[in-house]
Each structure stands twice: as C-alpha cells, then as structure tokens.
Amino acid sequence: MIPIRDDNARHHFPVVTVTLIAANVIVFIYQSLLPSLQVSEFILEYGAVPYYITNGSHLGTIFSSMFLHGGFMHLGGNMLYLFIFGDNIESVLGSLRYLLFYLLCGVAAFASHYLFDLSSQIPMIGASGAISGVLGAYAVRFPHAKVSVLLPLIIIWQVITVPAVLVLGFWFVMQLFSGATGSAQSGGVAWLAHVGGFVAGVLFMLVWKRRHNLGF
C-alpha cells in the first residue's frame, strides 16, 4: 500500500514540515552533484556510524544523518510520508515543538538501531527514523482519519480509502517483521530504526493526549 493523501484538513501552513522536505531535497541535490568517490566520503562523514558513536566521536552525525539519502526512491518515499502525515502533527504540536519531536524521534530511531550493533561500521542515513515517529503519533492522534492508498491488484493499481490506523498499523507490522527476521540493517534498510522511531512517536502522543485531556 502506498499512501497518496489523507482527509485531514491542515489548520495552518506547515512551515516546519515544508522546511524539512526542502532541506532533505537540497542536501540530496548537493550529494548527487558530487563525484562518485566523494559521495561515499560524504556519507561516511555525515552518516551515523555506530562504531564512531561507541568511541565517542561524530556524535553530531546522529542529526546530520537524518538529511542524507541513498537514492531518489529512498528520498521520494520518505518525503511522501512526511508530506502526507507531518502537517497534521505539526498542527497538533505547534511548529517548534513539532521540530523538537521530529528530531527526538530520529534520535530514538538511531538508538534502536545502534543498540543491536554497537560496532557496525555501516553508516545509517535517511529521514525514515524520524518520520516513523510522525507516523506513530498520527496513528494515535488520528486513528480514524481516512487515507487514500494505491493498492496493486494483479496488473492494475487501485485507489482505495482506509482508516489511518490500518495503513500505519500494517506499515509498522511490516517493519517489525522485517527487523525480526533479518539483521539490524538487512538489505540496506535499518528496520529496527523504523520500529524505534514509531514506538517513540506512539508513546509521545499517548502522553500528549493524556496531558491535554484529548481522550483515547
């Protein structure tokens, strides 16, 4: 299932969400213009390498890695999810609080990946860990929102509308299954980072709803 839109009206222009998307795109364009050898060096320099973190260096890469991507599809998929689901969470939290939430979910995602392989020398890159937190928060805050998704049916693609909790719940189960049946970073994807980011987003929004008496 590929989400293409939701039915949640935004209450104000999502300045942080749009800025995050723009920043990711700009970094990717810069990265794409580098010679191939320099691309590898760039990712090693700014990607989050568990081995370096364990030895107390390159700590800033936990944040810089959130703006690097391995290819156009990697970038495009992440930005699609952020565009669809990020604006409503920004509306709920407010722009500055949402930015802090986004970055902290990214940290939680990295920690989930890091703790399973402290000595890995493979750089972790991508916004998906932080975005997973956004998805977790959305599933809690707007479980009954309708999401239009593209669904492959044999040789054609069909657009159907389903509750957000089903779309995001299915996404989470797939990440959990992939993480449980593979290595911490199988196929170049840090599945456990997705799981950790999503759980962080869920927990944050549960606390937020309770503190603001929004009900469940």
Given the residues 58, 69, 113, 194, the one annotated as active site? 194
Residue 12 falls in the annotated catalytic set? no
Q: Which of 89, 165, 185, 170 is nearest to 130 (CA)?
A: 89
Residues 78 and 102 sit within 8 Å (Cβ to Cβ): no
Given the residues 91, 112, 120, 128, the one annotated as active site? 128
Residue 36 falls in the annotated catalytic set? no
Q: What values do phi and psi take at 128, rounded to 5? A: -65, -30
Q: How many CB atoms lie within 10 A of CB 2?
A: 14
Residues 134 and 86 sit within 8 Å (Cβ to Cβ): yes
Cα(184)–Cα(200) distance, rounded to whole angstroms? 18
Q: Which of 206, 198, 152 is nearest to 176 (CA)?
A: 198
Residues 105 and 197 sit within 8 Å (Cβ to Cβ): yes
Q: Which residues are catalytic?
A: 128, 194
